[in-house]
Amino acid sequence: MILQAHNPLSPAGERRQELTDMLLSQLATDRVQDPVSCARLADLDAHGGRPAAPSPPGADGDYDGVTDAEWGSDDNGTPGKDADALQQAAAQVAADSANALSQVPEVRDAARQRLRASVPRLNDALIARRRTPGVPAPDESSATLARGAELLAYDPDVLPDTGLGKIVLQVLTDALSVEAPDGESS
């Protein structure tokens, strides 16, 4: 129910009413039947109008599938091994994921912004590792990627029709279809 909308990444329910109002505003008034929702929509209309849905991020806020040229290289710019890039990417996503849950707004917001770049990098590193014959991708890195993608799924700027949104959806879909140790799908 929209009246109970809550972003789990927002500590203490910050922006809860704003999120609820934005979601309610997307509904056609003539189709809303809940009296509380109707009253809230009427109140929004009477006090300045309904909040608009966020606009899609611009090209600079979207992942375009191109990683930084220096990613996976050492201090001299020498390209590193796939394992090094995978380890670096997994460590960055793990750190960003932990900091995205911080109670300090500046730390939390910066980490959430970094996740938009670190999750695609880890995804690319895992894809490269899986393409290497005889070298399995570590399960820990896949779990770290899924956790980072889960956090991005709550980001209102990560929309399903963007490059980053498609990566998040694919990672989460893949994580749901992973075989459980007993042979059953999880």
- pLDDT confidence of residue 164: 93
**Domain chopping of the chain, boundaries:** 2-46, 59-176
- Per the CB < 8 A criterion, the answer to whether 178 and 186 are in contact is yes
User: Could you tell me which of 111, 112, 143, 119 has the C-alpha nearest to residue 65?
Assistant: 119
The closest of 50, 63, 123 to 92, measured between CA atoms, is: 123
User: Using CA atoms, how far apart are residues 38 and 165, in angstroms rounded to an integer?
Assistant: 32
Q: What is the per-residue burial (b if ≥16 Cβ within 10 Å, else e) of 90-110?
A: bebbbebbebbeeeeeeebee
pLDDT tens readout for residues 138-180: 778 889 999 999 999 988 888 888 899 999 999 998 888 765 4
pLDDT in tens, 1-10: 455 555 555 5
pLDDT per residue as tens digits for the range 44-72: 889 888 877 766 544 444 444 444 433 44
Residue 121 backbone zone (phi > 0: left; psi -120 to 50: alpha; other: beta): alpha
C-alpha closest to that of 50 among 79, 77, 27, 80: 27
> Please, which residues bridge with residue 179 across strands?
185
Q: Mind listing the pLDDT tens digit for each residue in 81-131?
A: 545 788 899 999 999 999 999 888 899 999 999 999 999 999 999 988 887
pLDDT at position 181 over 80:
no
pLDDT above 90: percentage of residues in the chain: 26
